[in-house]
Chain A
């Protein structure tokens, strides 16, 4: 059912208009008004499918009505019906945003014009909604990428920047001093010593490989980089996504840990070499002692205990060495 807001001061004309709909078997409900105030009220109060307006009313003219409709209910179809629409006026009304104009002596055009106007308005509305949705999606994606802690960079096959997020832009600017724009070659923002590596990893990703590596871009500034191939729906690669994140802090800790490991290694070395050396001598020398040459049982006892203690010390050194070996603190 079509809801029509009819702006018409003549009841007879209103009847004629409604008859056209009945003839065309269009189910509609028509509300007739005559004044500007009623128009404003009705537009605010209800949802309409179309406004049909006479051009000249005692208290309102068609153009004013059209402007009000556009202002209050943008997108609502508007058709002008008049007894005496000159060509100039018709053009003016159409320019102002009316969907159509109909002569009162040619009312048989009205029903199809109304249907078409409603249909077109529907299509326009759908397009608008779709566009809004696309824009919303874009905004959401942009927000997502720009709020990512990772720098994200999309490169085409020739290392040209297809897209980059805020973080990527900031990092590129920090290191190169330049602002990266879409279409720029990434090579221009890279330190000379890193160019070959970028080209190689980019090429490898274009071959379909996923690559991850830690890279010291400049002294003590470490980044974790991931190269991912970008595919068309048919499976062809069209570029590479490079996502990256600074990991300098983590690397610093790793280096600290390595230093600690070095100390441990030194400790293990000292234990197994330097500490054991004099002990091996003690053990050997004790074994050379001939207990028969010590008639005093106390002396023999002391020598026995000396041997036991030295052996215990050697056991501890062996254990320590074994522990360090087992803990696998050394990755090499």
Chain B
């Protein structure tokens, strides 16, 4: 287990309740690992991709982790991924969605950039996965 004390997590999800929930779950769980986390939120793929572009441009610190939803307005998770993979960034990306559709699960398998397909709500097991793979 690599240890990192300050972890930046990007949430990409259009549902504010979900973002609030995930923020709380992540913060609560980070205490178990003795990790400081910083969370940034984007409500669609488009604003997230723009934020990443701007971070790269200004040589700012990139997030360590991205939690990506599928169904979002403006730019959904898949379209975000197609843009995102071109940057070839060392970020650990998790799909985090309420979808249990087999189509989505199969599609996710085609992207090697997706570390894991997680189904909402974030389970303890998945939270462990996130903090153990830093």
Q: Which residues of A contact B (CB under 8 A)?
A: 268-269, 272-273, 276-281, 283-285, 287-288, 317-318, 321, 325
Contact = CB atoms under 8 A, between A and B. Distances in A.
A30 B121 CA distance: 116
B98 A284 contact: no
Given A281-B17, A281-B18, A288-B21, A321 B100 contact: yes
B4 interface: no
Given A280-B120, A280-B121, A281-B18, A318 B28 contact: no
Contacts of A279: 98
A288 B17 CA distance: 13
Contacts of B18: 277, 280-281, 284
A321 B101 contact: yes
Contacts of A277: 15, 18, 71, 98, 120
B120 A272 contact: no
Interface string B20-39: 01101100100000000000
Given A281-B121, A284-B121, A284-B122, A276 B25 contact: no
A288 B100 contact: no
B102 interface: yes
10 contacts: A272-B104, A273-B98, A276-B100, A281-B18, A281-B120, A284-B25, A288-B24, A288-B28, A318-B100, A321-B101
Which 3 residue pairs of A and B lie closest in terms of their CB atoms, listed nearest first?
Answer: A284-B121, A280-B120, A277-B98
A269 B101 contact: yes
B102 A287 contact: no
Contacts of A288: 21, 24-25, 28
A299 B98 CA distance: 28
Contacts of B70: 273
Contacts of A276: 98-100, 120
B28 A280 contact: no
A303 to B, nearest CB: 16
Given A280-B18, A281-B17, A272 B101 contact: yes
Interface of B: 15, 17-18, 21-22, 24-25, 28, 70-71, 98-102, 104, 119-122
A318 B71 CA distance: 18
A312 B17 CA distance: 21
B98 to A, nearest CB: 4
A276 B104 CA distance: 14
B21 A268 contact: no
Given A273-B71, A277-B15, A284 B101 contact: no
A281 B100 contact: no
Contacts of B100: 272, 276, 317-318, 321
B71 to A, nearest CB: 6
A260 to B, nearest CB: 19
Given A273-B99, A284-B22, A284-B121, 9 more contacts: A269-B101, A273-B70, A276-B99, A277-B18, A277-B98, A280-B18, A285-B17, A285-B21, A287-B121
B32 to A, nearest CB: 15
Nearest to B104: A272
B99 A284 contact: no
B1 to A, nearest CB: 24
Nearest to B122: A284
Contact of A272 (B15, B28, B99): B99
Nearest to B102: A325
B28 A284 contact: no
Contacts of B121: 280-281, 283-284, 287
Contacts of A317: 100
Chain B CB within 10 Å — which of A277, A278, A288 has the most? A277
